[in-house]
Copies of this chain bind each other. A is one copy, B any other.
C-alpha cells in the first residue's frame, strides 16, 4: 500500500475529516498535500453524496438526497513542478472499495445504484421513470450481486467517476459564463439545464474566511466533465489506465472521488454506477509543455488498462434518432438514439420478468458498452448498446420458444 496522502474516516462527513476535501472546482482550494513526479501514493475517498444513502430496501433516501453537497472530492494533491501547459500523467495503479468491509458507508462491502426522481435531477430515462428507485449491491471480490436484481452476477469494471485538475481563474469564469447562458434559455426547466455556483453546503478544503467564501460563491459545480477532466464517468478508467490531464494552475491540484464498483456506458440512471467510497492508488509524472506538444487543450487523453472484465458474447440493442412514441424525427441526435437503444433493452428485459425499473438500474450498473455506431446517415443517428449475456444466470438470448418469464422480484422503491 503506497503512502496515504489523503485520509478518510468513513464514519464522518467530508466537512469533518481531519483534512477536509472539497465539493466545488476553484483554483484557490488549498493543496492538501504535495507529491513529486515519479511518486506513488494513495487517496481515500468518500462516496459522492457523502454517504447519504443506506443499505436498506427503501428508495426514500435516493428520493430525498441533497445534491448540494455533491460530489465530495478528496484533494487537491499538488504536484511539484507542474505548471500551466503541462500534461499531468496519472497512472491508476489500483483502486477498490473501503478495505474495512463492515460499516454504514457505501463502499463498506456494499454499494448502490440509484435512479433520481425527476424533481431532483432525474436520469436519462426520466420521462419514462420519473420516480426514485434503488438497488443495493453486495461485493464479492470483483464480483457484484444484488438482492434487488436476482439472476444477475458480474465482474465490476471498477473506476473513478471523477478526477481532475483545478481550473484557472479564467477557465472557471468561462465555465460559469457559458453554462449560465445555457441555463438562461430555459431557467425554470425541471430537471434544470445546468447547475450554477451555489454557496449552500459548499465544502472548501482547508480554506477559511474570505478565500472559503469566494470558493463557495464562484466555484463550479462538480456534475459535468469539463476542460480539467472532472466527472467523466468513463467506465474505462480502470486499473492500469493512464490519463493525461491538462494542467491549468501551478501544482496541477489533482482532486477527485466518486469511485464506481462498476458502471455501464452513459451511467444512464444518473446515480447509475455502483456508487462507493474506497481508495485509489496513483503514480504521477509530468510532460512539460505537453498540452501544446500534443494538441491536448480541451479534454484529457487516456489509455485504458488491460484488465477490464473480459466478456465475449453480447446481446446488442439499436436505437435511432426517432422518438417512436411521438413519431418525431430528430437530426443526427445521438442522445435520442442512445436513449432509444436503452429503452429497447429495457423492453426486452421486461419480457423475462424484470420490472422496467430493475432493467433501468441494471443497464446503469453492469459493464455494458454504448456505441455511437452511425452519426452521418441523415437524418438518423444510430447508437447501439452491448449487454454481456454471461451476466445472467439464465440463457437470455432469443429463441424460438419465447422468453422464459418469471417473477424476478423488485428493486427498492419509495414509500
Q: Which residues of the other chain, B, contact A123 by a CB distance below 8 angstroms?
A: 376
Contact (Cβ within 8 A) B402 A293? yes
> Of residues 269 to 307 in A, which have CB atoms within 8 Å of B's CB atoms?
269-270, 272, 281, 283, 287-290, 293-307
Q: Which residues of the other chain, B, contact A384 by a CB distance below 8 angstroms?
A: 234, 236
Contact (Cβ within 8 A) B324 A298? yes
Kindly state whether residue A320 has any CB partner on chain B within 8 Å.
yes
Interface string of A378-390 (1 = CB under 8 A from B): 1111111010011
Q: Which residues of the other chain, B, contact A315 by a CB distance below 8 angstroms?
A: 301, 303
- Cα distance, A12 to B272, chains bound together (Å): 46
Interface string of A83-97 (1 = CB under 8 A from B): 000010101111000
Q: Which of B93, B99, B181 contacts A143 (CB 8 A)?
A: B93
Q: Which residues of the other chain, B, contact A100 by a CB distance below 8 angstroms?
A: 1
Contact (Cβ within 8 A) B378 A224? yes
A315–chain B nearest beta-carbon distance, Å: 6
> Of residues 191 to 220 in A, which have CB atoms within 8 Å of B's CB atoms?
191-195
Kindly state whether residue A30 has any CB partner on chain B within 8 Å.
no
Q: Which of B1, B299, B380 contacts A226 (CB 8 A)?
A: B380
Kindly state whether residue A124 has any CB partner on chain B within 8 Å.
yes
> Of residues 237 to 286 in A, which have CB atoms within 8 Å of B's CB atoms?
239-240, 244, 265-270, 272, 281, 283
Interface string of A315-334 (1 = CB under 8 A from B): 11111101010011111111
Q: Which residues of the other chain, B, contact A128 by a CB distance below 8 angstroms?
A: none
Q: Which residues of the other chain, B, contact A310 by a CB distance below 8 angstroms?
A: 306-308, 310, 312
Contact (Cβ within 8 A) B329 A334? no
Of the candidate stretches A15-23, A49-57, A342-350, A407-415, the one touching chain B is A342-350
Q: Which residues of the other chain, B, contact A179 by a CB distance below 8 angstroms?
A: 329, 379
Kindly state whether residue A40 has any CB partner on chain B within 8 Å.
yes
- Cα distance, A179 to B140, chains bound together (Å): 40
Contact (Cβ within 8 A) A234 B382? yes
Q: Which of B124, B290, B312 contacts A390 (CB 8 A)?
A: B312
Q: Which residues of the other chain, B, contact A231 by a CB distance below 8 angstroms?
A: 374, 377
Kindly state whether residue A120 has any CB partner on chain B within 8 Å.
no
Contact (Cβ within 8 A) A371 B374? no
Contact (Cβ within 8 A) A141 B93? yes
Contact (Cβ within 8 A) A400 B287? yes
Interface string of A390-408 (1 = CB under 8 A from B): 1000010111101100000
> Of residues 113 to 148 in A, which have CB atoms within 8 Å of B's CB atoms?
121, 123-124, 140-143
Residue from A226, A324, A382 having most chain B Cβ neighbours under 10 A: A382
- Cα distance, A386 to B371, chains bound together (Å): 11
Kindly state whether residue A155 has any CB partner on chain B within 8 Å.
yes
* Contact A233-B373, Cβ < 8 Å, known A142-B240, A224-B320: yes
Contact (Cβ within 8 A) A178 B329? yes
Q: Which residues of the other chain, B, contact A63 by a CB distance below 8 angstroms?
A: none
Contact (Cβ within 8 A) B232 A287? no
Contact (Cβ within 8 A) A244 B308? no
Contact (Cβ within 8 A) B295 A316? no
User: Can you list 9 pairs linking A and B with CB atoms under 8 Å apart?
Assistant: A87-B398, A179-B379, A225-B318, A236-B384, A298-B320, A306-B311, A312-B312, A334-B383, A370-B373
Other A-B contacts than A99-B99, A191-B378, A369-B369, 19 sampled, CB-CB below 8 A, are A91-B141, A94-B142, A193-B379, A225-B320, A233-B374, A234-B374, A236-B373, A266-B372, A270-B377, A287-B398, A289-B402, A298-B340, A303-B314, A307-B307, A307-B308, A334-B335, A338-B375, A369-B371, A370-B371
